Structure 1
Amino acid sequence: MSHTKLYAAIYVVLFAFATIQAVVEYAGFLEQSYWLAFWAIIVLSVIKAVIVAAYYQHLRWEPRAVSYLVVGGVVAAVALTAAASFSIT
């Protein structure tokens, strides 16, 4: 039963972060300070991804080796994406 309360609280936090992202995007912050809004949305997205991976994908309770494997995969995906973006001309 305690996991239900934890998951409900995490859902509320994720919902609040998504709402903040929508407000930043649609409230006109992009016209005033594009890069500030951009980085605010990126930071909130990273926080949300870490929360989802830790709790909903149960990485928090897995051995650290599994978490390091996931982080290694994410780093490889980002590196390949960056390399692909530089090869497009």
Structure 2
Amino acid sequence: MARTKLYAAVYVVLFVLASVQAGIEMYTDLLDSAYWLAFGLIVVLSAAKAVAVAGYYQHLRWEPRSLTYLYLLALGGALALTMAASYSIL
């Protein structure tokens, strides 16, 4: 029960980041020249949200560092396989 305030704060941060992403996406349609800037901002915000979810809601913040490194290794492998699959389609 002690972490209820922490989870609520993380939820508010995630809500704000998602709202910022939606705003960026909505206003990018008006400015075609800012597409890649908006794309980069959305990717950075998405990564920040993923770290917050993994750290707090999946409790990786309180796990041993070795488990976190194992997850990062698995993520890197999944990204490498995804990139390899995207090049094999071409």
What is the TM-score when the length of structure 1 is the normalising length?
0.94
Counterpart Cα distance in 2 of 1:41 and 1:73: 23
In structure 2, the partner of 1:8 is: 8
Deviation at 1:45, TM superposition (A): 0.3
Which residue type is aligned with residue 64 of structure 1?
Answer: R
Which residue type is aligned with residue 11 of structure 1?
Answer: Y
- DSSP 3-state at the match of 1:2: coil
What is the TM-score when the length of structure 2 is the normalising length?
0.93
Counterpart Cα distance in 1 of 2:41 and 2:53: 18
Residue 84 in structure 1 maps to residue 85 in structure 2: yes
Q: How many residues align?
A: 89
Counterpart Cα distance in 2 of 1:28 and 1:71: 32
Deviation at 1:72, TM superposition (A): 0.5
Deviation at 1:27, TM superposition (A): 1.6
Render the CA deviation track for 1:31-71: whole Å, top value 9, x for unaligned.
23111000000000000000100000000000111101100
Which residue type is aligned with residue 3 of structure 2?
Answer: H
Higher RCO by CA contacts (8 Å cutoff, separation 6 or greater): 2
> Runs of 4 or more off by more than 2 Å in structure 1?
none
Q: Which runs of 5+ in 2 are unaligned?
A: none
Please list, as runs of the form range in 1=range in 2, the aligned pairs for 1:47-66 lying within 5 A after superposition: 47-66=48-67
In structure 2, the partner of 1:23 is: 23
